[in-house]
A and B are shown apart, each in its own frame.
Chain A
Amino acid sequence: MVMSNSSFRRRQGAKRKPISSFGLILPVMANSDVKLIGAWPSPFVMRPRIALNIKSVEYEFLEEKLGSKSQLLLESNPVHKKIPVLIHDGKPICESLVIVEYIDEVWSSGPSILPSDPYDRAIARFWAAYIDEKWFPAMRNITAAKEGESRKALIEQAGEGMVLLEDAFGKCSKGKGFFGGDQIGYLDIAFGSFLGWLRAIEKLNGVELLDETKTPGLLKWAQRFSSHPPVKNVLPETDKLVEFAKVLAKYKAAESTS
């Protein structure tokens, strides 16, 4: 199943930054070659897709199948063999947040993704790292954990993380609608890409992680983010992810017994 990028067929050329040491400006390229290797359920893949949409960059989405890795993926990411991989004019870039920063720097004429102030950038990067290293690993293990103490502990951990992120939202947004202010930015993308899975995990486990009393700011932000144009066609519906989670669980069970 290949998802097309039908909403953004505006033909905006991909401009490159000038080479600063010689002051040369490269000619504007009409359709530079942009491919993204990924899969629709992966929150990490959603990140570069949202970033490319923000910059109105057309790209070819090369979908990997569950259970097998394409030759192109293995060649483009020999170190980790993981998606997403952005291939820009034949050159691969790996790791979702590295790709997002790359997209921001290459297509610099589009709306900015990283904040401009170095301290704000450090804070955005800090929370993105927290999400990847602490929050999502706890979230991901909730469904697999056995009922009882260990699942309860993981749910509590995820909940504590949500409170921290609610506080971060208050500080970063400074009263505006997104972590990035008026526009969605790096941290919106880093965290928002998990919203589909957050809701799926809530449904699968009968828990509430986004709630009006504990995370009122994030609750509203989630609605705003999900309906934002660059995000709308990228974030999968909760029910589709719930179905996929079941498929994935069956696949993993089969793998471990074979």
Chain B
Amino acid sequence: MAGDQVTLLDFWASPFGMRVRIALAEKGVKYEYSEQDLRNKSALLLQMNPVHKKIPVLVHNGKPVCESLIIVQYIDEVWKDKAPLLPSDPYQRAQSRFWADFVDKKIYDIGRKIWTTKGDDQEAAKKDFIDCLKLLEGELGDKPYFGGETIGYVDIAFVPFYSWFHAYETVGNFNIEAECPKLIAYCKSCLQKESVSKSLQDPQKVYDFIVMLRKNLGVE
């Protein structure tokens, strides 16, 4: 759409920000990427997301949209002529929303427990994490994407966390691929898509970032 002003307030390592980047890339939307300093939040961020003060925030013609999955749905509804992210059938749409919500409720929080805890707590988190991934692996089945033949809403919700797997594995001392080979193969094939490879981050950089965060939090 000509004349659209689109800005994304984001943080390089955030899997939530990555979701929005993938969605914008899939739709071919030109936008300005604005890296935010989360330890020293800008006036713009606080103005655009006064309730949560978090990234990502999509600013479209001056109006802010917050919460990554809400932003992805907004992008799908506004730029609706290209690459539909949600299926057209209401039942399939409900299934997509359910599984994206599952990713939201589980993956980040359990993953966070892996790198912020030790001992029994960490072991429990690792087990929970693998259980969740196995459920997702079952839901994926033999399809190329959760969305079917093309990348969709659930794929976008989930695949950014792949950037963080190396960090979880190293800190937690476990091997995700050994437990969920099909899911990892799926993540790798997603990376073949430019919209995904350009949006995700180098796992080594993410690991270095987690190491720094752990030091700051005093976890060792």
Residues on A close to B: CB < 8 A?
A: 17, 19-21, 79, 88, 91, 93-95, 98-99, 101-102, 105-106, 118-119, 121-122, 125-126, 129-130, 164
Please state if A102 and B94 are interface contacts (CB–CB under 8 Å): yes
Out of B70, B97, B135, which one reaches A122, CB within 8 Å? B70
Q: Which residues does chain B contribute within 8 Å of A99, judged by CB atoms?
A: 94
Assess A91 versus B91: contact at CB under 8 Å? Given A118-B78, A119-B74: yes
Q: Scoring B residues 42 to 74 as 1 if CB is less than 8 Å from chain A, else 0, what string do you get?
A: 000000000100000000100101110011011
Q: Is the CB of A125 within 8 A of B73?
A: yes
The distance from the CB of B51 to the nearest CB of chain A, in whole angstroms, is: 6
Supposing A101-B97, A164-B51 touch, asked if A106 and B90 sit within 8 A by C-beta, the answer is yes
What is the chain B residue whose CB lies nearest that of A107? B90
B97 lies within 8 A of A95 (CB): yes
Query: B50 — nearest CB in chain A belongs to which residue?
Result: A164
Contacts of B66 in A (CB 8 A): 126
Q: Is the interface of A mostly helix, strand, loop or mixed?
A: helix
| Cα distance A105–B98 in the bound complex, in angstroms | 15
Q: Write out the residue numbers on chain A whose beta carbons fall within 8 Å of the beta carbon of B94.
A: 93, 98-99, 101-102
**Distance (whole angstroms) from the CB of B56 to the closest CB of chain A:** 13
Please report B residues at the A interface, Cβ cutoff 8 Å.
51, 60, 63, 65-67, 70-71, 73-74, 77-78, 88-91, 93-94, 97-98, 101-102, 135
Q: In the bound complex, how far is the Cα of B89 from the Cα of A95, in angstroms?
A: 18
Q: Are A126 and B135 in contact (CB under 8 A)?
A: no
Contact yes or no, A105 B97, CB < 8 A: no
A194, B156: Cα distance in complex, Å: 31
Known: A95-B97, A98-B94, A98-B101. A20 touches B51 (CB 8 A): no
Provide the bound-state CA to CA distance between A119 and B70, in Å.
Answer: 10
Q: 14 A-B contacts, Cβ less than 8 Å apart?
A: A21-B88, A88-B91, A95-B97, A95-B101, A98-B94, A98-B98, A101-B93, A102-B94, A105-B90, A119-B65, A122-B65, A122-B73, A125-B70, A130-B51
Q: Are B101 and A126 in contact, CB atoms less than 8 angstroms apart? A: no
The CA-CA distance from A102 to B93 in the complex, in Å, is 8
Q: Which residues of A contact B63 (CB under 8 A)?
A: 119
Q: Which residues of B contact A98 (CB under 8 A)?
A: 94, 97-98, 101
How far apart are B131's CB and chain A's nearest CB, in angstroms? 11
> Whole-angstrom distance between the alpha carbons of A17 and B92 in the complex?
13
Measured between beta carbons, the chain B residues less than 8 angstroms from A20 are 88
Partner of A102, one of B73, B74, B91: B91
Taking a contact as CB atoms under 8 Å apart, the answer to whether B93 and A121 are in contact is no
Shortest CB distance B125–A (Å) = 19
Whether A122 contacts B98 in the complex (CB less than 8 A), given A17-B90, A20-B88, A164-B51, comes out as: no
Is B98 a contact partner of A95 (Cβ separation < 8 A)?
A: yes
